[in-house]
Amino acid sequence: MFDCSSLGIPKAVILDRDGVINQDSDDYVRTVDQWQPIAGSIEAIGRLCDAGYQVYIATNQSGIGRGYYDLDELHAMHRKMQALLDAVGGHIAAIEFCPHTPDVNCDCRKPLAGMIVNIEQHMGCSARGVPMVGDSLRDLEAGMLRGCTPVLVKTGKGERTLKKIAQDPLWTGLTICDDLNAVVDQILSGELYEQASNTRA
């Protein structure tokens, strides 16, 4: 199994939540019952943890600021997620979320990198080179601001995002995977880091 620490990259992965771990909705995931994992995502996180990776989440949750659900409901969703992870030996090291609407002009809402900065504090080091996995352009942009390795999944809004960036030379060489399980395959094999290194070169 490949060890990314040999490249000076922390054994960590940063995940968006909606559309990467759980099913997304254009009408927002508002209740714990609506929070449903994407097939294979829980097991994929378990595989990362089993391989010694720290898994972090950075998620925009403007539904709180919009009044669609409250903090108690958000925490209930995350307890449900952790209960599912417990069954496969998985664990989330830290969850960073932004409750703000875009008009608040905070520094944590992706595509800004405030949540990743906070994750770096949890890690005790830079997130440079760490995979940042998302289904939207703002996930990729936030990761790029901190030198992460952006990865796009086709789940959630991923297919829409792929069409949006198809002609943008900025994203030439971007790693694109069908789902989180496929991302983990590339992380554990080292293919993801090799591809990122070739893109930077």
Question: Which residues are annotated as catalytic?
Answer: 16, 18
CB 97 within 8 A of CB 60: yes
Q: Are strands 175-177 and 131-134 parallel, antiparallel or unpaired?
A: unpaired
- 168 annotated to a ligand binding site: no
Q: Annotated binding residue at 108?
A: yes
26 annotated ligand binder: no
H helix and E strand count, the chain? 8, 6
The long-range contacts involving 103-106, CB below 8 angstroms and separated by at least 24 positions, are 104/65
Question: Is residue 18 part of an annotated ligand binding site?
Answer: yes
Rounded to an integer, what distance in angstroms lies between the CA atom of residue 112 and that of residue 91?
26
Residue 135 annotated as lining a ligand binding site:
yes
Annotated binding-site residue? 125: no
- Binding region: 16, 18, 98, 100, 106, 108, 135
- Binding region for Mg(2+): 16, 18, 135
- Binding region for Zn(2+): 98, 100, 106, 108
